[in-house]
Amino acid sequence: MTTPIRICALAIAAFTVAACGQDDTGETGETPVELETLPDADVPADAPTDAHNGDADLTCLGKDRKGKANAGVTLTGYARSLADPDADGDAPEGQVTAVDTDGNEFSGPIDVSKDGRVAVYVATGDEGFGGHAVVTSAGFLDWRFQSTNKVINSDYNGWAFLVTEQERDDAATGAGITLDLNKGVLVGSVHDCVAFGISNAIVEVNGEFANTAYITGFGIDSAKTFTGSSGRFAVPNLSGTVEVRAWARLESGGDFTLIAEDEISIDVAAINALSLDP
């Protein structure tokens, strides 16, 4: 699988999610938050890296990244099935609906003639798009995505790799996870300041580390206790609104510092995807 980890704009990807287009506009004056109690599992001793640049770029921490958007942005990307990520066959039919924070909806089809290309124009004002996007396609679970930072330009593509109920269940069974079908699944990725997935991060959900599984490739790696180079993670059996935090050492051997945090409302009938960005 050679799909790039750096993705943005539509940012509705399966485990490869990111949000770009933020400007570092100045210091916020905030003191970095350090983790007081380490999880019981093994934690990385090293600072995070990304697969493209070596050392992860975390220079934006402590800076105002709001930026300024145009009147609207075009959310662009590709929606494909996890079973056929390169669209060697037909891309799935369906649509993407972007929902802003006021509940306004903007929709566009998945273009099966262009390998699953999607383009949805969203009126944003100068604050950018800070809502969520939902990918729907018959035979697949809905994919609901949001990112920590607002999208303020149309520079990058997003990717969605849709899964069936059976694929979700098989992945859980293979990892020794029992799914509560009355609750939902969260997947996501931890990124650095230039939107690459990072290794050596630990992910906390509602104050707990123990329930987070980490991803190698597109599968759960039961032996891992922190992120690999893609920054991907998954957490089963969630409901309501959950708080998600990513922590990493800014230097090898240093304290764990808060890299990103967000809240996400879990849709129990969908796969919920979150891009954790500084």
Is residue 147 situated within a structural domain? yes
128, 150 contact by CB (below 8 A): yes
Is residue 200 situated within a structural domain? yes
- pLDDT attached to residue 30: 64
Q: Which amino acid is at 268?
A: V
193, 148 contact by CB (below 8 A): no
pLDDT in tens, 168-210: 999 899 889 999 999 999 999 999 998 899 999 999 999 999 9
Is residue 97 situated within a structural domain? yes
Residue 113 has pLDDT above 70, yes or no: yes
- pLDDT attached to residue 52: 81
Query: For residue 120, what are the domain limits?
Result: 49-276
Is residue 54 situated within a structural domain? yes
Three-point CA angle 211, 212, 217, nearest 5°: 145
Helix (H) or strand (E) holding 206: none
237, 252 contact by CB (below 8 A): no
Interatomic CA distance for residues 247 and 245, integer angstroms: 7
Per DSSP, helices labelled H in the chain are 165-174
Residue 260 has pLDDT above 90, yes or no: yes
Is residue 171 situated within a structural domain? yes
Is residue 228 situated within a structural domain? yes
Q: Is the dihedral of CA 11, 16, 21, 22 positive or negative?
A: positive
The distance from CA 195 to its chain's CA centroid, rounded to whole angstroms, is: 10
**Mean pLDDT, the chain, whole residue set:** 84
CA distances from 68 to 8, 29, 104, 152, 177 (A): 16, 20, 20, 6, 42
Total domains present in the chain: 1
- pLDDT attached to residue 44: 92
pTM of the complete model:
0.87
Structure tokens at 21: 């287009």
Residue 116 has pLDDT above 50, yes or no: yes
Is residue 217 situated within a structural domain? yes
Q: Which residue has the higher pLDDT, 194 or 239?
A: 239
Average pLDDT over residues 219-247: 94
Helix (H) or strand (E) holding 275: strand 270-276
Is residue 103 situated within a structural domain? yes
Question: Residue 18 — very low, low, confident or very high, per pLDDT cuts 50/70/90?
Answer: very low
